[in-house]
Amino acid sequence: MPKPLPMPRACVFDLDGTLVDSLCDIAESLNHCLELLGLSTYDLDRCRTMVGEGVPTLCERALGHTHSHLVHRLVELVRPHYRTRALRHTRPYPGVPELIGRLRDCGVRLGVLSNKPHESTVRVVEAFWSDGCFAAVRGYVEERYRKPSPHYLLRMCSGFGVAPADTWYVGDTATDIQTARAAGALSIGVTWGFRTREDLVAAGAERIIDDPAELC
């Protein structure tokens, strides 16, 4: 069993697949909009492999090369549709609220950094953590700063007054691991989300956990 990690000064989390299980809501919005365009839909297992890098990339993956000319239109449809139903099925993963509470009680500065559109990121976080325990919340705004860019993670660390080396970045995809490594934060992969342990190992995660209780 790995040795316990020393408590960080700051901990930043990915959102979808890490703090909350949002797959059903994302998949339903994607499939609804694909149907509007007269295109084939996807089951949850296939959607699981496509999410995690923002709406434009999700739409590119859903359309493939055959209908690549429809990417812009699908993005235009998916964003407002998802915005109206982001909380129909989405819930925190078991044990995550307790983990956030323990970290907060230990004085750890907390943040959320997601590739979900910023407005939806804020809405989901505030729906389940309305007490302001997350000092910084940032979703997708500009393509050039989409994860794995470390831009916003570094800005969060600066805002916290905490060095990246004293920060955990926790996520469920290779993109999250790459983000942490690019920023110089400790990369922690979680296996309860949208990717496999093998994906996290291949990405170079410095620690992999199977249950929120293993983190703190």
Summarised one tens digit per residue, pLDDT across range 153-186 is: 999 999 999 999 999 999 999 999 999 999 999 9
pLDDT interval class at 24 (50, 70, 90)? very high
Residue 1 predicted with pLDDT over 60:
no
Pairing of strands 207-209, 20-21: unpaired
Q: What is the mean pLDDT of the chain?
A: 95
pLDDT interval class at 152 (50, 70, 90)? very high
Residues 14, 21, 25, 176: which is the catalytic one? Answer: 14
- Distance (Å, whole) CA 213 – CA 216: 6
Summarised one tens digit per residue, pLDDT across range 48-95 is: 999 989 899 999 999 998 899 999 999 999 999 999 999 999 999 999
Q: Which has the closest alpha carbon to 174: 153, 151, 193?
A: 193
Q: Which has the closest alpha carbon to 173: 53, 55, 43?
A: 53
Instruction: Over range 112-117, report the average pLDDT.
Output: 96
Summarised one tens digit per residue, pLDDT across range 66-75 is: 899 999 999 9
pLDDT interval class at 2 (50, 70, 90)? low
Enter the tokens of residue 152: 């916003």
Q: Has 105 been annotated as catalytic?
A: no
- How much of the chain exceeds pLDDT 70, in percent? 99
Q: Is the pTM of this model over 0.85?
A: yes
Domains of the chain from N-terminus onward: 10-21+91-214 (3.40.50.1000), 23-83 (1.10.150)
Give pLDDT, residue 44: 95
Give pLDDT, residue 186: 98
| Residue 99 Cα distances to 4, 22, 123, 161, 211, angstroms | 15, 19, 20, 22, 10
Residue 102 predicted with pLDDT over 90:
yes
Instruction: Over range 97-117, report the average pLDDT.
Output: 96
pLDDT interval class at 15 (50, 70, 90)? very high
